[in-house]
Amino acid sequence: MAKVKMAYVCTDCGAEYSQWQGQCPACNAWNTLKEIRLSSLKKTSANSSVGYSGAIDNKVQSIDDIDLADVPRITSGMSELDRVLGGGVVPGSVVLIGGDPGVGKSSILLQVMCQLSQTNNALYITGEESLQQVAQRAKRMQLADDKLRLLTETDVERICISAEKEQPKVMVIDSIQTMQLAEVNSASGGVSQVRESAAYLTRFAKQNNIAIFLVGHVTKSGEVAGPRVLEHIVDTVVFLEGQVDSRFRTLRAIKNRFGAVNELGVFGMTDKGMKQIKNPSAIFLSRGDAPAPGSVVMVVWEGSRPLLVEIQALVDESPYGAPKRVTVGLDHNRISMLLAVMHRHGGIQASDQDVYVNVVGGVKVSETSADLALLCAILSSMRNQALDQELIIFGEVGLAGEIRPVPSGQERIFEAAKHGFKKAIVPYANVPKEGVPGMEVIGAKTLQQALDYL
């Protein structure tokens, strides 16, 4: 009996090794090597395509001879999804959409495919549900599904053969963790199966000019299950996020070869599926009638548009020797740094206080423009004095106590003015030279100047 050859593959970077070791030398990650059986894929000739029939005629070209005409995009029927994808679905692209279980990945793709099927040939392939389950969900959501083609299959080669017959413009694979190749000797969802299946489908999409959506499961840490090389294979990676107790969902692009990254789309989950929210700032600004201490509105930049969100802070005397620093939606390490800056350059000490910070609506803020608003909300809670509800604040705070300008500062101010805000504390370099009608804009050069105004 022939000896089975084994290999060890890193789940983060996809590097292969003949022996197990605690750390991957390629990406320096620990405990990421998984044992797999080496596949017995037959090598194909150099002039044929890999994995399916058809010859590829490649030739070397000068960069001046390449046609730079815009690739016509396919409108998905959802402007929020088109925004995240960079203006629509690009033919021949592969989009990986990940998210927690039950967040609505299959629902939003079923909506999109039903809309696309009215004007384009669309094929929905499921490896997790039966055709009856998909049809029942479409009927419950009252979708126009009369032209959508369905297939339940997990074998990648059979899927590609069916797709060559159907010739769809857009195809959905739900999910990539259930797909498998017969030549790969491992179970579905394994490192080698996910990697080879994704590479096979990507080659098929490029050669046949078919846009493919891949649904990806996530791990407990929130990353796409399988090898990290999966995110390198595809063209676009988007995540559908949302709290369990909230009906709002955010779709964010973290990789996009055809548009801007960190673009944000906002949806509302209803019994009829995903509903687009054209003005998300109005939702995240649902504040109480009476002003409350520790609450302030800031303007963050998400992709290509500003977004107004409310930040709340609660400061209370700590009963223990080590005060707590709890943040939801913000970087935990940054709040400790900002509290030190406020003590050094603002003369306000919070070393004996518990500080709790929350971004309303489940929004995750990663940019530094929230620094000044965070410190102002903390000061408001410490003094138990409410800030003006018509005030917005944003700006980056440096270690020397200076207020640094942020990108697209003037666009943020004009967006706040559209929502009825009358005052703004912003970095001095972001103050518009011609002013803003109906709004008083205060430019602060240092943290002390901003705190003195408050």
pLDDT in tens, 139-156: 999 998 889 999 999 999
Q: What is the three-state SS of the chain?
A: CCCCCEEEEECCCCCEECCCCCECCCCCCECCEEEEECCCCCCCCCCECCCCCCECCCCCCCHHHCCCCCCCCECCCCHHHHHHHCCCECCCCEEEEEECCCCCHHHHHHHHHHHHCCCCCEEEEECCCCHHHHHHHHHHCCCCCCCCEEEECCEHHHHHHHHHHHCCCEEEEECHHHCECCCCCCCCCCHHHHHHHHHHHHHHHHHHCCEEEEEECECCCCCECCCCHHHHHCCEEEEEECCCCCCEEEEEEEEECCCCCCCEEEEEEECCEEEECCCHHHHHCCCCCCCCCCEEEEEEEECCEEEEEEEEEEEEECCCCCCCEEEECCCHHHHHHHHHHHHHHHCCCCCCEEEEEEEHHHCCCCCHHHHHHHHHHHHHHHHCCCCCCCEEECCEECCCCEEECCCCHHHHHHHHHHCCCCEEEEEHHHCCCCCECCEEEEEECEHHHHHHHC
Mean pLDDT of 237-244: 84
> What pLDDT is recorded for position 434?
86
Mean pLDDT of 258-272: 85
pLDDT in tens, 325-363: 999 989 888 999 999 999 999 899 888 899 999 998 777
Residue 56 scores a pLDDT above 60: no
Mean pLDDT of 413-427: 92
Q: By C-alpha distance, which of 177, 254, 178, 188 is closest to 218?
A: 177
pLDDT-derived band at 47, boundaries 50, 70, 90: very low
Residue 120 scores a pLDDT above 80: yes
pLDDT-derived band at 37, boundaries 50, 70, 90: low
> What pLDDT is recorded for position 43?
41
Q: Which residue has the tokens 């044992």?
A: 35
CA atoms within 13 A on the CB side of 244: 2
Distant-in-sequence, close-in-space partners of 87: CB < 8 Å, separation ≥ 6: 73, 258, 259
- Tell me if 198 sits within 8 A of 234, measured CB to CB: yes
- Tell me if 99 sits within 8 A of 107, measured CB to CB: no
> What pLDDT is recorded for position 93?
94
Q: Which CATH class is domain 75-277?
A: alpha beta
Per-residue CA distances from 8 to 19, 22, 178, 227, 349 (Å): 6, 11, 21, 12, 52
The proportion of the chain whose per-residue pLDDT surpasses 90, expressed as a percent, equals: 50
CATH level 3 topology of 283-453: Ribosomal Protein S5; domain 2 (3.30.230)
Mean pLDDT of 184-212: 89
> What pLDDT is recorded for position 145?
81
pLDDT-derived band at 68, boundaries 50, 70, 90: low
> What pLDDT is recorded for position 3?
54
- Tell me if 443 sits within 8 A of 431, measured CB to CB: yes
Four-point Cα dihedral 404, 409, 414, 417, nearest 10: -30
Mean pLDDT of 274-297: 80
- Tell me if 47 sits within 8 A of 243, measured CB to CB: no
Mean pLDDT of 238-265: 84
Token digits for 365? 């803020």
Of the listed ranges 48-57, 79-88, 403-412, the least confidently predicted one is: 48-57
Largest CA distance in the chain: 84
Which has more pLDDT, 201 or 187? 201
- In angstroms, the first-to-last Cα distance of the chain is 81
Distant-in-sequence, close-in-space partners of 2: CB < 8 Å, separation ≥ 6: none
pLDDT in tens, 93-108: 999 999 888 888 999 9
Of the listed ranges 286-290, 336-340, 418-422, the least confidently predicted one is: 286-290
CA angle 417, 246, 138 (to 5 degrees): 110
Integer Cα distance of 36 and 185 in angstroms:
8
Beta-bridge partners for 226 = none
> What pLDDT is recorded for position 69?
67
Residue 251 scores a pLDDT above 60: yes
> What pLDDT is recorded for position 122?
94
Beta-bridge partners for 299 = 308
The one-letter amino acid code at 73 reads R
The one-letter amino acid code at 353 reads Q
Mean pLDDT of the chain: 86
> What pLDDT is recorded for position 362?
75
> What pLDDT is recorded for position 49?
42
Neighbours of 354 (CB within 10 A): 17
Beta-bridge partners for 215 = 97, 174
Residue 443 scores a pLDDT above 80: yes
> What pLDDT is recorded for position 173?
96
> What pLDDT is recorded for position 351?
86
Residue 70 scores a pLDDT above 50: yes
The one-letter amino acid code at 14 reads G
